Structure 1
Amino acid sequence: QKKDKTEVAEEPKKQKKVINDENRHKPYGKTAWVPVDDVHILRYYPRTIYEAAEAIDMLKNFQKLDFTPHEQPVYVDLRLNMKLEKKKKVDPFISTVHLPHPFKAGMNRVLVFTEDAHQAKVAMENGAAIAGGVELIQPILDDEISADFYIAVPDILSKLVPLKNKLRKKFPKSKRGSVGLHIPKMLELFKTGHEYLVENECYIRTQIATLDMPKEHIFSNLRTVLLDVCSHRPADMGPFIERAIMASHTSEALWFRSQDVLQPEAEKKIIKWKKTRD
């Protein structure tokens, strides 16, 4: 009986059958490639995947037809292929980028940790909201002081351990670019930077613009975010973004082709749209 159990356990698993629809007159299990009518049952047809530029135009049209707020946020939702060689994976990451066309009106509040009086002065002169040493730890723990970003010089980092649980993902890290000696450069990034992170192992959902921005500005911000995302995985491992969705706050989700946005030709599109608008 034990022998039978061992034999059953050693049976090879059946591989999932992959059907190639490339040369078929219609996709397997579907009615046709494209619906004939405007009104149709979605499950009978393959999902429509748009060009990014077309998706932006559609979001703007949805807003006009639905009479929804024109300044509503535009989001991008990505699923990443985190696999590397030999069963390794890309670690979930947090990144801060400079968007070419910021959608926030004000600056981010940045707190600088340093015990050097000269460095603290430089920080304040370059736009830091607060600069100081270990005396800031207790007020932060008591919620008397807060900031959008926290940066630090290397010398003080070991003294900030009590803040790890409080700040969590905002705790200064060299990998994130929030630990260093060049305070003005760090402040330049974090004062106007846009932060996004990988959640649930392989998903990114972040705002990239507002719907009232020109089409080329939304596209340019989208391209900046996608290029930064793809920089976290070797290019020779194949496409990093498995699925890309764009949506506004009130619209339906639109699948789009991320690879088109990453191509060098996409930059020429932005220039062309700008000339047309001017």
Structure 2
Amino acid sequence: MAAAVRCLGRVLIAHQRHSLSKMPYQTPLYPCSAYVQIPNRHFAAATKPAKKTKKGAKQKTLEEKKDEIEKIKSYPFMEGEPEDDVYLKHLYPRQIYDVEKAIHLLKKFQILDFTNPKQGVYLDLTLDMALGKKKKVEPFASVLSFPYPFISEINKVAVFTRNASEIKVAEENGAAIAGGTDVIQKILDDEIQLDFYVAVPEIMPELNPLKKKLKKRFPKLAQNSIGRDIPKMLELFKTGHEIKVDEERENFLKTKIATRGCLQRSRDLPRSCQWLHRVVFHRVHVPSSVPY
């Protein structure tokens, strides 16, 4: 009985040694001990199961938002104009006013909102670039001299010419900079950035490196930025205003026509709108029914 107890004790000792060892088997030290196969045990922290994200969750939220928008669009408009000071805008049809009424409202809102007098007033025109034409009209940009000017700051204009006498004339007539290759290199090096660029015809071959740099501001005959009458070009571009068709929406033109401070001269703004409408109409066929 005592021998059996001693033998069992030896087996337990061998098992304890094996649990502290990295070997899968422990060699018996005594004849009565048995081979005990105990696998290595590795301890690790319990891991939490990863959260399962629903693939359709984001899609559902987007669809819900679309449904809400569609519901709002499906609401019937209220009759008449809103009588309350606070109301839901989407429940009433969009108000369209003539030029005089719109200017009156702008003057009223300017006082209520304490608007900065230098804030711009903009005119939006929707163009038909293909109506009655075999070829679609490409988006254009032009510099115009408004009959009722509103720009308080003079534009900075560069004049490209190699002629010394023409450089002197340009400087006397308010050019920000005038010259040939030296001016070209300064623009390429980003040393100067101006509002507009004009040139004499003789220097045009030397301006080819500036095409990618200046893009739509590169001198062109169609924009009256190439010519020999330097004082006339400077007069146009120093006080002129650029209008251009939106690059992304090719049938949309948005341009500044005045500042809030000019609203007091209520007669000038309608005239400017009508004048600009005629200019754009001659540039591309715009239906006369397009609202200002």
**1:235-274 equivalence runs, <5 A:** 239=287, 242=290, 257-258=291-292
User: Within the alignment, does 1:206 sit opposite 2:255 as a pair?
Assistant: yes
For the aligned residues, what is the CA RMSD?
2.4
Quick check: 2:77–2:93 contact (8 Å CA) kept in 1? Answer: no
Q: What is the aligned-residue identity percentage? A: 48
Query: Following TM superposition, by how much is the alpha carbon of 1:30 offset from its aligned partner in structure 2, in angstroms?
Result: 5.0
Can you give the 5+ residue segments of structure 1 that lack an aligned partner in the other structure? 1-28, 243-256, 259-278
Query: Following TM superposition, by how much is the alpha carbon of 1:105 offset from its aligned partner in structure 2, in angstroms?
Result: 2.0
Q: Indicate which of 280, 283, 287 corresponds to 1:229.
A: 280
Quick check: 1:97–1:225 contact (8 Å CA) kept in 2? Answer: no
**Which residue does the alignment assign to 1:24?**
none
Quick check: 1:152–1:178 contact (8 Å CA) kept in 2? Answer: yes
User: Within the alignment, does 1:147 sit opposite 2:194 as a pair?
Assistant: yes
**Which residue does the alignment assign to 1:269?**
none
Quick check: 2:120–2:259 contact (8 Å CA) kept in 1? Answer: yes
AA partner of residue 104 (structure 1): I
TM-score, normalised via structure 2 length: 0.66
Q: Look up the SS of the partner of 1:115 in the other structure.
A: coil
**1:113-192 equivalence runs, <5 A:** 113-192=160-239
**Which residue does the alignment assign to 2:244?**
197
Query: Following TM superposition, by how much is the alpha carbon of 1:240 offset from its aligned partner in structure 2, in angstroms?
Result: 6.2
Quick check: 1:111–1:128 contact (8 Å CA) kept in 2? Answer: yes
Quick check: 2:82–2:92 contact (8 Å CA) kept in 1? Answer: no
AA partner of residue 174 (structure 1): L
Further displaced range: 174-183 or 40-49: 40-49
Further displaced range: 215-224 or 104-113: 215-224
Can you give the 5+ residue segments of structure 2 that lack an aligned partner in the other structure? 1-74
Pair 139,241 (structure 1): closer, same or farther in 2 beyond 3 Å: farther
Q: Indicate which of 34, 43, 55 corresponds to 2:80.
A: 34
With a CA cutoff of 8 Å and minimum separation of 6, indicate the structure with the bigger relative contact order.
1
Pair 127,71 (structure 1): closer, same or farther in 2 beyond 3 Å: closer
Pair 202,31 (structure 1): closer, same or farther in 2 beyond 3 Å: closer
AA partner of residue 277 (structure 2): L
User: Within the alignment, does 1:215 sit opposite 2:266 as a pair?
Assistant: yes
Whose radius of gyration is greater, 1 or 2?
Answer: 2
Q: Look up the SS of the partner of 1:76 in the other structure.
A: strand
- CA distances 1:191-246 after superposition (whole Å, capped 9, x unpaired): 11111110121222221111121212322333332222222024xxx61674xxxx
Query: Following TM superposition, by how much is the alpha carbon of 1:83 offset from its aligned partner in structure 2, in angstroms?
Result: 1.2
Q: Look up the SS of the partner of 2:261 in the other structure.
A: coil
**1:63-142 equivalence runs, <5 A:** 63-85=110-132, 88-142=135-189
Query: Following TM superposition, by how much is the alpha carbon of 1:97 offset from its aligned partner in structure 2, in angstroms?
Result: 1.1
